[in-house]
Structure 1
């Protein structure tokens, strides 16, 4: 069961989301908030699996500030941004704040459900068109910056970073590289320590900056 909180300043949006999610047996809405401070309090109190977070909330803290504080204070809570902002700057700032996913409010219902499930399972989710634009921007930066090595990582570690940054679960990474899940977990822990990173979005940013993401 995925425990989820909805954070949006519009009551009608919250009601519509609750109605949609009520039909899904594996998702339970355990709380809702209309601004960032309420969201932070909910995260502390309820410790849901996922916070479905709007960015633009005119009263109190906005979604970006709330995401940053929730990820710092209750790191077990994943944040999925649900917003109208189809903009790379907002997307990048949300990743920096610690969000594990970013999806637009006009996305199909099934895409939203997929994003919730992926984030709850420990994977990252970025809506497809934003992913392409963001990858292109960072790969261009990496190209113009020259063939810089991806830091003090082994080739195996670089492979793992790339797959994790693309949103693959530990089991999927293990299957692709034909190694055990325990080995993947050990590599990930070593990578995070070696690079001084703390969150998955940090790892995604690192992979983008070092040009480790390649799509067919």
Structure 2
């Protein structure tokens, strides 16, 4: 008799494997990531790179589903640059369906914010356990975000302060109902909570959010939340909060 876990493993292995691309300037780290991920029946590492130039040259032709990208590369670790985030941004232009999972040794709010605005689907520390990293790859491959509520709150806090104008070119594309939904995204509500608040079907909310992301020309829900927060800062009178 097959156990439930065996059936689950078989179900995963019968689907096309998740194609993963690796970017890290340390060979030992890349080898460890490759061994970890290729030990999973539903994953295959299709390529790797040691620097940004190699990544941008190799990844588009390999058509990965997920790119695991080191935030800081080579000497940039000393200067504080986030070259891996630039790679994320450029790869997502070439491969709009690509999910980028940022991997870093540093808990850096600035890098977190920049990664999200570059379209990253997730952001994890290198101290993460192997099983948790595998879960993170599966999560972003499924189109979900790999950010805990605390990280989301820090990103929204990052945009509070001096308002950054978000003018009519972005917002004029949205209908009044979409503006309502955008505001609720900015408050951190889930699809279900938005549906309950506005008396809509959850599927309708999901479709509306997809339209909002398209109109705002962003790829992630958290990016829309950042825009909503900036709009609120611009529109609320001083001292309102």
Structure 2: unaligned runs, 5 residues or longer? 1-16, 77-81, 165-170, 233-241
Separation in structure 1 between the aligned mates of residue 26 and residue 144 of structure 2, nearest angstrom: 28
Question: 1:166 and 1:110 mapped to 2: Cα distance?
Answer: 28
| Pairwise CA distance, 1:109 | 2.2
Is the 1:141–1:209 Cα contact (8 Å) retained in structure 2? no
Q: In 1, distance between residues paired with 2:153 and 2:193?
A: 25
| Count of residue pairs brought into register by the alignment | 199
Q: Once the 2 structures are TM-superposed, how far is the Cα of residue 159 of structure 1 from its aligned partner? A: 4.5
Q: Are 1:179 and 2:198 matched, yes or no?
A: no
- Equivalence map 1:56-95=2 (5 Å): 56-58=72-74, 62-95=83-116
* Paired residues for 1:1-216 under 5 Å: 1-58=17-74, 62-127=83-148, 129-138=150-159, 141=161, 154=176, 158-159=180-181, 173=191, 177=195, 179=201, 181=203, 183-194=204-215, 196-200=216-220, 201-209=222-230
In structure 1, how many angstroms separate the alpha carbons of the residues matched to 2:58 and 2:184? 33
Q: Which residue of 2 aligns with 1:148?
A: none
What is the TM-score when the length of structure 1 is the normalising length? 0.74
Q: CA deviation at 1:103?
A: 0.6
- SS in structure 2 of the partner of residue 76 of structure 1: coil
Contact 2:104 2:125 in 1 (8 A): yes
Distance 1:27 1:124, change over 3 A: same
RMSD of the TM alignment (CA)? 3.4
Distance between the aligned counterparts of 1:103 and 1:46, measured in 2? 24
Q: Which of these two proteins has the greater Rg computed from alpha carbons?
A: 2
Q: Classify the secondary structure of the residue corresponding to 1:125.
A: coil
